[in-house]
Amino acid sequence: MSEEVVCKTAIIKTIYWFSKDYLIDYRTENGQHIIIVDSSDSFSESFRFEFEKEFRSRAYDYELRRIIDEETKEVKTLLLAKTLSQLNIYDDLSSKIWD
C-alpha cells in the first residue's frame, strides 16, 4: 500500500485491530507500507487474499475517517462554540468571579 494513499496512522490502527489474532511487523520502504504477517500456520492462497482484502478495507476506512475528521474540524469547532455561547457559561462564571 502506498503512503500516498493511506497514512501511517491508518496502517498502525489497522495493525492494532488485527494484532489480537496475528503477529504483524511493519515498516516503510520506498514510499510503500510493508506489512509482514507471521505465518506460523501456512496461509492458503484464498486465506491470504481474504486477509489482504479485509486489511486494506480497514486501512482505507481509518484513512477516510482521518480525512473526514480533518475536513470537518472547523465546522465542529464552530458548532461547539455556538452551543457554548448559547449556554451563557461565560456570563455565569464572570458574575460569580466578580460578586
Distance CA 78, CA 64 (A): 22
User: What are the beta bridge partners of residue 64?
Assistant: none
Task: Report the candidate in 54, 20, 55, 61 with the shortest Cα–Cα distance to residue 34.
Answer: 55
Distance CA 8, CA 38 (A): 20
pLDDT per residue as tens digits for the range 38-75 = 766 667 888 889 889 999 999 999 999 999 999 999 99
Distance CA 62, CA 42 (A): 28
pLDDT at 83: 82
Task: Tell me the average pLDDT across 13-23.
Answer: 90
SS3 35: strand
Cβ atoms of 28 and 34 closer than 8 Å: yes
Q: pLDDT band at residue 82, thresholds of 50, 70 and 90?
A: confident
Task: Report the candidate in 26, 7, 15 with the shortest Cα–Cα distance to residue 64.
Answer: 7
pLDDT at 80: 84
